[in-house]
Chain A
Amino acid sequence: MGRSTTMGRGPYEKSGLVSDTSLPPGRTVEERFEVPFPATVAKVGGKDETQVTDDTLEITVELWYLPYGTRDTTPFKWREAKRTVRLVPFE
């Protein structure tokens, strides 16, 4: 009903907003993600050493609108961006 801490998806399940994930007009909303490079850890000289197995990541960022909260019912992919990130090992 949009009372206390409870709100549902359906119009009949709310008469207010307890939480809102929409994008407000005229403003910039930022999200930040961290993606680890694939790596294994091996013992070298008795110490753990991270060994990167692939120094290139192909990253795809998708923005979805999910009217029913899942991709099962009328999902809409609003945007997609692809980025390639190459790791330059530190000296």
Chain B
Amino acid sequence: MIAARLLMVASLALGPAAWLSTAWAGPPPGGEKSGTIVAKQGQAKTLRELIAMYDSTSCKECHEDIHRDWMESPHARSVFGTGRTAATFQTAITNGLMTWPFSGVHGPGDVKVEHFQGCTKCHLPQLADATDAVAKELATTLFAWREAVNKGDAAARSKHEATLGQLGITCLVCHNRNAIVHKWTDGYPQAGVVYGSESGEHAADDYPLAAKSPIMHEAIACGQCHGLGPNLELDNPTQCATLYGSYLWSYVADGGDKTCQQCHMSASGLGHKILSYRDPKMAEMALDFEVTARAVNWRDGTRYAPRAVVAVAMTNRAGHGIPDG
């Protein structure tokens, strides 16, 4: 009798547990907000601290090929770029912030993190994990670099380019900080965890765990930065990339089913180079270009005016408008 009763209790206990196991396949990849890198380390107070916070140089000890590919990507130097990006950062201050009467910015020393968000939301998202002192240091470095370029001061230019060149979308930005989009659902990315395609141990002192990111293979991972269009959440909205918006509302709406990663990493064979039009194969994949030309004996009234008629047909095969970013 006692045994029978115990079995019933066990059965009742297993019921909800069995239901839970079907609704929830396992532990979420993330955790509490208090476990993130910035929560553990505190906000960076200098550029050097910010660079160290998301430094990924140790990744190349085991992932040498991937790291080499990443070094060739624009992600590796998303603030300096070819110099064009750094110049645009600077003109966004001089031609934008410093001309707007209510921005509070009269020079690079007035620039705060919020002022940079139109640029750094994508070009350096980790700046959100830094104090305003870091934004000011970044702005003054950009101005000093530009001045060195204008004056032909090679030593100063080299020094500032070295600093700006260390600011980028490092491994840890994609594989930790931005690896989880739905943080209330999947948890916040945790310090010490590298998010990718597998879960388990990860042979690195500072990052001993690997966890499967729920979005690493999805277009939304890239869409976090490669934009929907206007950043209307800012006090003074800006617009840079519109690519993810184009992907969603044009390419997918017309039946497209490829992800960013399938074209820019897999089909192109580019891996972590993740290049676009500057790579010959991507440029070829993205566009059909057909030109036909024929001669026409055109008579304009009594005047004979022969001409060549040239027809150009351009078909965009990419999953987004081109050009875009």
Query: Given B84, B295, B318, which contacts A74 in the complex, CB threshold below 8 Å?
Result: B84
Point out the residues of chain A lying under 8 angstroms from B92, CB to CB.
Answer: 10-12
Point out the residues of chain A lying under 8 angstroms from B314, CB to CB.
Answer: 23, 28-31, 63
Point out the residues of chain B lying under 8 angstroms from A30, CB to CB.
Answer: 311-314
Beta-carbon contact of B294 and A85 below 8 Å: yes
Q: How many A-B residue pairs have CB under 8 A?
A: 170
Point out the residues of chain A lying under 8 angstroms from B19, CB to CB.
Answer: none
Query: Given B88, B95, B318, which contacts A25 in the complex, CB threshold below 8 Å?
Result: B318
Main secondary structure of the interface of B (DSSP, over half): mixed
What 4 A-B pairs come out closest when comparing CB atoms? A12-B96, A15-B237, A11-B240, A83-B293
Which residue on chain A has the smallest CB distance to residue B84? A74
Query: Given A28, A49, A85, which contacts B313 in the complex, CB threshold below 8 Å?
Result: A28
A and B contact pairs by CB, cutoff 8 A, 26 listed: A11-B239, A12-B95, A12-B118, A13-B95, A13-B96, A14-B230, A15-B232, A16-B239, A26-B250, A26-B256, A26-B315, A27-B316, A29-B315, A35-B310, A37-B295, A39-B306, A41-B303, A47-B302, A57-B295, A61-B291, A63-B314, A81-B289, A83-B292, A83-B293, A85-B293, A85-B295
Interface string of A18-46 (1 = CB under 8 A from B): 00101111111111111111010100000
**Which residues on B are within 8 Å of A, measured CB to CB?**
82, 84, 88, 91-92, 95-97, 118-119, 229-232, 237-240, 242, 246-247, 250-251, 254, 256, 277-278, 283, 287-289, 291-295, 297, 302-324
Number of chain A residues close to chain B: CB under 8 A: 53
Point out the residues of chain B lying under 8 angstroms from A22, CB to CB.
Answer: 321-324
Point out the residues of chain A lying under 8 angstroms from B232, CB to CB.
Answer: 15
How far is A15 from B230 in the complex, measured between Cα atoms in Å?
A: 5
Beta-carbon contact of B230 and A87 below 8 Å: no
Beta-carbon contact of A16 and B307 below 8 Å: no
Point out the residues of chain A lying under 8 angstroms from B288, CB to CB.
Answer: 28
Beta-carbon contact of B323 and A89 below 8 Å: no
Does any Cβ of B come within 8 Å of A86's Cβ? yes
Beta-carbon contact of A24 and B250 below 8 Å: yes
Point out the residues of chain A lying under 8 angstroms from B315, CB to CB.
Answer: 26-29
How far is A88 from B297 in the complex, measured between Cα atoms in Å?
A: 8
Beta-carbon contact of B118 and A11 below 8 Å: yes
Interface string of A54-65 (1 = CB under 8 A from B): 000101010101
Query: Given B84, B119, B229, which contacts A67 in the complex, CB threshold below 8 Å?
Result: B84
How far is A27 from B283 in the complex, measured between Cα atoms in Å?
A: 17
Q: Min CB distance, A8 to chain B, in Å?
A: 9
Beta-carbon contact of B289 and A79 below 8 Å: yes
Query: Given B119, B247, B250, which contacts A11 in the complex, CB threshold below 8 Å?
Result: B119
